[in-house]
């Protein structure tokens, strides 16, 4: 299924995050080739360090931030289906016990 069609059926918060994920994915995966060619552009020790710095930025962007956004989509979709978070259920139980 095309992602665009799936996004159209999502609740607004999840759809907005999915649109952000598209851009993040495009930008993050464009950074990798730039890092790859860096030694050809700057063939010095500084070029090697810059290459590693660019790879680090790309890795953090494409893995960590992507993971956080995907988790947000999952939470938004769960809320739309009526699921609550474990912490809110635990808080309700604590209040009802007291």
E-strand ranges in the chain read none
Is-contact 11 76, C-beta < 8 A? yes
What are the sequence ranges of the domains in the chain? 19-97
* 97 compared with 30, residue with greater pLDDT: 30
For residue 54, the model assigns a pLDDT of 92
19 has pLDDT over 80:
yes
pLDDT level of residue 88 (50, 70, 90 thresholds)? low
> What average pLDDT does range 68-95 have in this prediction?
75
What is this structure's pTM?
Answer: 0.65
CA distance 77 to 71: 10
């Amino acid at each position: 299924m095309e992602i665009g069609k799936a996004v159209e059926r999502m609740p607004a918060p999840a759809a907005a995050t999915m649109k952000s994920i598209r851009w993040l994915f495009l930008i993050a995966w464009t950074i990798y080739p730039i890092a790859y060619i860096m030694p050809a552009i700057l063939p010095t020790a500084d070029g090697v360090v810059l290459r590693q710095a660019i790879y680090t930025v790309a890795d953090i962007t494409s893995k960590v931030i992507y993971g956080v956004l995907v988790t947000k989509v999952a939470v938004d979709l769960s809320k739309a289906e009526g699921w609550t978070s474990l912490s809110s259920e635990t808080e309700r139980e604590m209040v009802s016990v007291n």
